Amino acid sequence: MTAAAEALAARIRQTGPMTVAEFMAECLMNPVWGYYATRDPLGAQGDFTTAPEISQMFGELLGLALAQVWLDRGSPASVRLVELGPGRGTLMADLLRATRIVPGFHDALTLHLVETSPALRARQSETVTHPFTHHAALEDVPDGPLYLIANEFFDALPIRQFLREGSVWRERVVGLEDGRLVFGLAGPTEPSDLAPRLADTHHGDLVEQNPTATAIAAEIGARIARYGGVALIVDYGDWHSLGDTLQALRGHRAVPPLETPGEADLTAHVDFEALARAASRAKATPLTPQGTFLESLGIAARAEALAKNLSGPALASHKAAFHRLTSPDEMGTLFKVMALYQPNTPLPPGFSA
Ligand code: SAH
């Protein structure tokens, strides 16, 4: 048993089985052995890779989309540019480079990176050269018009899982059997926020809830409704959640979630409907496949422009990156984009009604 599994087992012996959310939060952010807290897991050598690590075009296009909204709103003089879970800081560096050409945008913004991992905070401080402030949570970011990006952030937040039995629910928990971590079920409950799910589920179905994600979405919605701005949320998931989507990735391969706590990335699909509902003081765009979104922002033209200066292996890898971001058999349809924006303002770029 690893030290992390020992620590989890000791805690379960003391206080009983833990919820999947508690398990996920410990595995990802335990200060001593948590997956994100202690390492930079991204890139080809890491456990998984993300769109901004695949190509600079991703951060460039998202940045120009944000700047376009800022221009459309009459270039407000003081806005908050915020990224949730910036990883290595690559997306933000690409975004800032691409938006240098937008007159006044950089002068108008203060930059805020919301990040809890000490290891990744250090990495971001190396990558992002524009002055910024680190925060532990969005609520610590000062008020004002909000221009926000979150790529593969919401999938890392801890989910709770509930199994339906008849008309009651039993929460999925992590306990111990013969000294090993195993999934189990807690006693029946009838949480009021799950009552609506009785309409679209049956006996034996499992539903997921992400209380941290919906609280953050509510905060985003409230700020945008009050001060204006836009939030671009990119992640894998769907409109409406059903079934067990907890997954662990290690060395680019799926592993059983309880097997190597602290050493594998743990994620769950994002329920965009739940985010939109929580953020309902703002308007949500239609949920749009990443490929469609990037294409309507002009990724093909940008890819061609970049290709002009490339040859040999660099050109081949650039073409592969373009394919990976946009193609339906790669990230193009699995990943989705949803924007939150101020009611009574035009749809942000990249979306159609
Ligand atoms: N957006 C980056 C990284 C995605 S990985 C990219 O696309 O490459 C998830 C990121 O969210 C990491 O930076 C991780 O440390 C951060 N994170 C996870 N849970 C968090 C939380 N509760 N608060 C703030 N950041 C968190």
Is ligand 1 within 6 A of the CB of residue 52? yes
> Helices 312-326 and 56-72, interaxial angle, to 10°?
60
From 35, 116, 214, 265, give the residue whose CB has the most ligand 1 atoms within 8 Å, as the site to mutate: 116
**Nearest alpha carbon to residue 86 among 128, 45, 58:** 128
Verify whether ligand 1 is closer than 6 Å to residue 267 (CB atom): no
- In short, whether 151's Cβ falls inside 6 Å of ligand 1 is yes
What does 113-146 look like in DSSP terms, one character per residue?
EE---HHHHHHHHHH--S-EEEESSGGGSPSS-E
pLDDT given for residue 252 in this prediction: 85
Q: Whose CA is nearest to atom 6 of ligand 1?
A: 87
299 and 57 in contact (C-beta within 8 Å)?
A: yes
Our answer on whether the CB atom of 85 is closer than 6 Å to any ligand 1 atom is yes
Q: Identify the pLDDT of residue 31.
A: 92
Q: Is the CB of 229 under 6 A from ligand 1?
A: no
CA of 85 to the centre of ligand 1 (A): 3
Number of the ligand 1 atom closest to the C-alpha atom of 152:
4
DSSP string, 42-95: BSTTSSB--HHHH-HHHHHHHHHHHHHHHHHTT--SSEEEEEES-TTSHHHHHH
The greatest distance separating any two alpha carbons of the chain, rounded to the nearest whole angstrom, comes to 64
CB 221 within 8 A of CB 330: no
Paired with 231 in beta bridges are: 148, 340
CA distance 325 to 288: 14
Which residue CA neighbors atom 13 of ligand 1 most closely? Answer: 87
- Protein residue closest via CA to atom 17 of ligand 1: 85
Among 165, 160, 158, residue whose Cα is nearest residue 189: 165
**41 Cα nearest atom in ligand 1:** 5
What's phi and psi for 116, nearest 5 deg?
Answer: -100, -15
One-letter amino acid for residue 66 of the chain: L
Vertex 88, ends 112 and 153: CA angle to 5°? 65
Residue 329 per-residue DSSP state? T
CATH ID of 51-155+223-242+270-341, from 3.40.50.150, 3.40.190.10, 3.40.33.10, 3.40.50.1820: 3.40.50.150
Query: Which residues on adjacent β-strands are paired with residue 109?
Result: 79
Q: Verify whether ligand 1 is closer than 6 Å to residue 27 (CB atom).
A: no
Tell me, in angstroms, the distance from the centre of ligand 1 to residue 323's CA: 25
152 lines ligand 1 (CB under 6 A): yes
Question: pLDDT in tens for each of the 353 residues of the chain?
Answer: 788 999 999 999 999 999 999 999 999 999 999 999 888 888 777 888 999 999 999 999 999 999 999 999 999 999 999 999 999 999 999 999 999 999 999 999 999 999 999 999 999 999 999 999 999 999 999 999 999 999 999 999 999 999 999 999 999 999 999 999 999 999 999 988 899 999 999 999 999 999 999 999 999 999 999 999 999 999 999 998 889 999 999 988 999 999 999 999 999 999 999 999 999 999 999 999 999 999 999 999 999 999 999 999 999 999 999 999 999 999 999 999 999 999 999 999 999 98
CB 278 within 8 Å of CB 221: yes
Residue 194: DSSP 8-state? G
Q: How deeply is 333 buried, as exposed, middle or buried, from its count of CB atoms within 10 A (0-12, 13-18, 19+)?
A: middle
Pair of tokens at residue 56: 């600079």
Ligand 1 atom closest to the Cα of residue 51 is 7
Here the tokens at position 95 are: 């975004």
> And the tokens for 151?
């790529």
Ligand 1 site-directed mutation target among 92, 115, 148, most atoms within 8 Å of CB:
115
Q: Where are the domains of the chain?
A: 51-155+223-242+270-341
**Measured from the CB, is residue 55 less than 6 Å from ligand 1?**
no
Packed helices 299-307 and 56-72: angle between N→C axes, nearest 10 degrees? 130
At 327, which amino acid appears?
A: S
